[in-house]
């Protein structure tokens, strides 16, 4: 248990609302079990009835204290234990990590190449798996609903979906709604079981290892409030390319500037017709701002002309409570270097990895 006996400021009341479950991070220890903790970008002092270490993270629930001006913070996870388990899991998977979108593209190609060499039963299983994996490819003309379905079935939430399914006690309509049978991880596991120890077994195990590594990395991102990250195949003419998507949401309080965005989204891919492209989008009371970066300078003018129509469309549909002093939507195209457009370095740019010693790579 931990208590915060100080009179609550407006900032504290906005963040430490009774009933909320939050993650705290110990920033400083003052002695006599007095600590400075960070919750998001906010910092608070508290006295605890257990020892905490600087750098430890813990999950707590906000409850009413014994006095009207006090709050009680009940720790729900043993400080350091969850963090230790996550570090241990990261040690096991970091060397196996590869963007899932790249892995899927390679697996689809390998299935098609090796199918003629398989026995009839295995060939049928391979063709079935290839058709299932094709449903995880974002096709031209797809909209936000299609993208949402691809992300929902990405396999990153497979175990949590199993848990939710258990809550419905196997009721068939809810099972269909959860879509577990179309989940990427479920399909890879089923494919591995049906193909046995044939020539594709190693390919499927590698794909599962990459997916599970990404699941652990997603947990590490969420532990410190980093953007969630997905990669997925996109149809690009006759070929496939990998799309990379980062999404971050934050609670905006009354103490933040009015223009502070609630949502930050980054998308990047390399298409045959445009070369590398990066799109940064922010959304909040300051309106929607979209910045498009391209490496081919000759595309800036024609894309900016097209962006005018997109800007009008966004202005018509945006519904985020835009303040009167801001434009509802702004879309701008800029030339940029390949380094500025490339987002691959962000894949492992995770606060949890920056602040913990997970792997020692020294020789």
pLDDT top residue among 69 and 220: 220
Residues of the chain with CATH 2.40.50: 2-79
Report whether pLDDT(323) > 60.
no
Q: What pLDDT does 11 receive?
A: 66
Nearest to 28 by CA among 15, 46, 16: 46
Most confident option among 111-120, 164-173, 244-253: 111-120
Distances (CA, A) of 293 to 335, 336, 349: 6, 6, 20
pLDDT cut 90: percent of the chain above it: 31
Q: What pLDDT does 293 receive?
A: 96
Model confidence band, residue 195 (pLDDT cutoffs 50, 70, 90) = confident
Q: What pLDDT does 336 receive?
A: 95
- On whether the CB atoms of residues 40 and 15 are closer than 8 A, the answer is yes
* Mean pLDDT within 184-212: 86
- Say how far apart CA 326 and CA 111 lie, in whole Å: 52
- The three-class DSSP label of residue 128 is helix
pLDDT tens digits for range 334-362: 999 999 999 988 888 887 777 766 555 44
- On whether the CB atoms of residues 263 and 248 are closer than 8 A, the answer is yes
pLDDT tens digits for range 38-88: 887 788 888 888 778 887 777 777 888 777 777 888 776 555 556 666 776
Q: Which helix (H) or strand (E) holds 159?
A: helix 158-167
- On whether the CB atoms of residues 244 and 269 are closer than 8 A, the answer is yes
- Say how far apart CA 74 and CA 64 lie, in whole Å: 10
Q: What pLDDT does 1 receive?
A: 47
Q: What pLDDT does 8 receive?
A: 45
Q: What pLDDT does 201 receive?
A: 84
pLDDT cut 70: percent of the chain above it: 79
Listed in order, strand segments (DSSP E) in the chain are 2-4, 21-31, 34-39, 42-48, 57-64, 71-75, 228-236, 239-249, 261-271, 275-284, 287-294, 329-335
Identify the CATH number of the domain defined by range 2-79: 2.40.50
Report whether pLDDT(170) > 60.
no
Model confidence band, residue 6 (pLDDT cutoffs 50, 70, 90) = very low
pLDDT tens digits for range 251-302: 766 666 766 778 899 999 999 999 999 999 988 777 788 999 999 999 999 9
- Say how far apart CA 312 and CA 287 lie, in whole Å: 13
- The three-class DSSP label of residue 154 is coil
Q: Is the pTM of this model over 0.85?
A: no
* Mean pLDDT within 214-220: 87
Beta strand 239-249 with 261-271 is antiparallel
Q: What pLDDT does 3 receive?
A: 46
Q: What pLDDT does 290 receive?
A: 92
- Say how far apart CA 263 and CA 248 lie, in whole Å: 6
At 179, phi and psi to the nearest 5?
70, 25
Nearest to 332 by CA among 289, 296, 278, 298: 289
Q: What pLDDT does 269 receive?
A: 96
- Say how far apart CA 36 and CA 25 lie, in whole Å: 9
Question: In terms of residues, how long is the chain?
Answer: 363
- On whether the CB atoms of residues 215 and 156 are closer than 8 A, the answer is yes
Mean pLDDT for the chain overall? 81
Give the least confident one: 132-136, 237-241, 250-254. Answer: 250-254
Q: What pLDDT does 357 receive?
A: 64
Annotate 71-91 with DSSP letters as a single string: EEEEE-S-TTHHHHHHHHHHH
């Amino acid at each position: 248990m931990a208590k915060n006996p100080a009179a609550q400021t407006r900032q504290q009341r906005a963040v430490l609302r009774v009933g909320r479950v939050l993650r705290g991070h110990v920033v400083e220890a003052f002695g006599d079990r007095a600590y400075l903790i960070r919750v998001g970008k906010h910092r608070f002092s508290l006295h605890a009835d257990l020892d905490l270490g600087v750098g430890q993270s813990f999950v707590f629930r906000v409850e009413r204290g014994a006095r009207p001006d006090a709050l009680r913070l009940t720790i729900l996870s043993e400080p350091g234990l969850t963090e230790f388990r996550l570090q241990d899991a990261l040690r096991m998977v970091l060397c196996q990590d590869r963007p899932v979108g790249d892995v899927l593209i390679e697996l689809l190609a390998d299935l098609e190449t090796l199918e003629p060499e398989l026995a009839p039963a295995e060939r049928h299983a391979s063709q079935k798996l290839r058709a299932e994996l094709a449903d995880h490819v974002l096709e031209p003309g797809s909209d936000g609903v299609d993208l949402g379905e691809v992300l929902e079935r990405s396999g990153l939430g497979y175990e949590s979906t199993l848990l939710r399914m258990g809550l419905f006690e196997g009721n068939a309509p809810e099972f269909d709604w959860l879509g577990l049978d179309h989940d990427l991880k479920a399909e890879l596991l089923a494919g591995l079981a049906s193909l046995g120890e044939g020539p594709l077994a190693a390919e499927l195990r590698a794909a599962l290892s990459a997916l599970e590594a990404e699941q652990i990395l997603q947990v590490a991102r969420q532990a410190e409030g980093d953007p969630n990250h997905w990669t997925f195949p996109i149809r690009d003419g006759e070929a496939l390319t990998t799309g990379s998507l980062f999404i971050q949401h934050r609670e905006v309080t009354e103490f933040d500037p009015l223009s502070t965005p609630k949502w930050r989204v980054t998308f990047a891919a390399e298409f045959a017709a445009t070369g590398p492209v990066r799109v940064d989008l922010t959304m909040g009371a300051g309106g929607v701002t979209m910045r498009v970066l391209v490496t081919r300078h000759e595309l800036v003018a024609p894309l900016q002309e097209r962006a005018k129509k997109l800007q009008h469309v966004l202005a018509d549909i945006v519904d985020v409570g835009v303040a009167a002093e801001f434009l509802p939507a702004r879309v701008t195209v800029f030339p940029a270097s390949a380094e500025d457009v490339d987002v691959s370095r962000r894949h492992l740019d995770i606060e949890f990895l920056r602040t913990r010693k997970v792997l020692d790579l020294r020789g």
